């Protein structure tokens, strides 16, 4: 077999290697053929009075195969990770300019615009009120929503206070208060905001949205995209 010894030929056969095939080599990398050459040299130069046991010999071959398999697996995962990141980048790009609904109670309101949000109601209520406060805690508007069923109830504030005056641009806080008879409870609020840009986490695959009125928002908290 082109000068290949019997024992080397048997090793090639057992490992499924064609000794006549041309194998490209990268400098600094140990391929299967190189490994076998080292093993044959080790066999030829072993102490005849202390020959290598078959278990030790097979163990070295198995160890090489394991390391080679792990390297192949790492390369596969690296390629998969790269493709996944590219897919996330495309998904992130499609979010720019869209409206998202996220948990929150404080938003930057621009005079003349509407601030839109929703309240998550676990149960039906007889009365739902949305209270709007300035950054200093002054109550400027109470929006009477009336009776509401369980689920997401949407509200909108036009920027006008209870006296009918337009409030200036600034930071405002929204509270949802529900009542059933004499029982009053707070409810979770969600606010709409526009996505300005998206930042992807290269290591953990996270996605952070930079929004127009709520600042940085974790994509995992988004309730709705419109």
Q: What was the pLDDT predicted at 181?
A: 81
What's the average pLDDT block by block, 10 residues per block, for the chain (226 residues)?
53 58 50 62 62 56 58 58 57 85 94 94 95 97 96 96 96 96 91 91 78 91 91
Domain end marker among 37, 70, 95:
95
Domain end marker among 95, 128, 159:
95
Residues 32 and 104 in one domain: no
CA–CA separation, 5 and 160 (whole Å): 93
Residues 70 and 141 in one domain: no
What is the CATH classification number for the domain harbouring 145?
Answer: 2.60.40.4070
* Dihedral angle sign, alpha carbons of residues 10, 11, 15, 18: negative
Residues 13 and 82 in one domain: yes
Q: What was the pLDDT predicted at 164?
A: 95
Q: Are 120 and 190 in contact (CB under 8 A)?
A: yes
CA–CA separation, 16 and 10 (whole Å): 10
Encoded tokens for 49: 């009075």
Q: What was the pLDDT predicted at 58?
A: 56
Residues 133 and 72 in one domain: no
User: Is residue 117 classed as helix, strand or coil in its secondary structure?
Assistant: strand
Q: What was the pLDDT predicted at 45?
A: 63
Structural domain includes residue 1: no
Residues 221 and 110 in one domain: yes
User: Is residue 78 classed as helix, strand or coil in its secondary structure?
Assistant: helix
Residues 104 and 209 in one domain: yes
CA–CA separation, 222 and 194 (whole Å): 12
Residue range(s) defining the domain that contains residue 23:
6-95
Q: What was the pLDDT predicted at 1?
A: 46
Backbone phi, psi, residue 46, to 5°: -75, 160
| Domain total of the chain | 2
Q: Are 103 and 188 in contact (CB under 8 A)?
A: yes
User: Is residue 71 classed as helix, strand or coil in its secondary structure?
Assistant: helix
Residues 70 and 123 in one domain: no
Please state whether beta strands 151-157 and 115-121 pair in parallel, antiparallel, or not at all (unpaired). Answer: antiparallel
Domain end marker among 46, 73, 95:
95
Q: What was the pLDDT predicted at 207?
A: 83
Q: What was the pLDDT predicted at 42?
A: 64
Structural domain includes residue 187: yes
Q: Are 211 and 197 in contact (CB under 8 A)?
A: no
């Amino acid at each position: 077999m082109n000068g290949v010894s019997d024992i080397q030929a048997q090793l090639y056969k057992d490992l499924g290697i064609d000794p006549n095939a041309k194998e490209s080599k990268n400098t600094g990398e140990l391929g299967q053929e190189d490994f076998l050459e080292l093993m044959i040299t080790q066999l030829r130069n072993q102490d005849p009075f202390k020959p290598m046991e078959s278990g030790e010999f097979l163990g070295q071959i198995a160890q090489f195969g394991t390391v080679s398999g792990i390297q192949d697996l790492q390369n596969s995962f690296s390629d998969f990770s790269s493709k996944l990141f590219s897919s996330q980048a495309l998904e992130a790009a499609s979010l720019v300019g869209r409206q998202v609904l996220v948990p929150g109670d404080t938003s930057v309101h621009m005079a003349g615009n509407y601030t839109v949000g929703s309240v998550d109601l676990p149960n039906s209520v007889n009365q739902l009120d949305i209270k709007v406060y300035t950054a200093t805690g002054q109550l400027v508007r109470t929006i009477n929503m009336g009776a509401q069923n369980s689920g997401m109830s949407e509200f909108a504030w036009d920027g006008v206070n209870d006296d009918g005056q337009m409030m200036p641009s600034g930071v405002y806080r929204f509270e949802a208060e529900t009542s059933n008879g004499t029982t009053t409870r707070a409810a979770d609020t969600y606010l709409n905001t526009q996505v300005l840009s998206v930042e992807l986490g290269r290591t953990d695959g996270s996605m952070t949205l930079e929004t127009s009125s709520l600042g940085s928002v974790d994509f995992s908290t988004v309730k709705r995209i419109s």
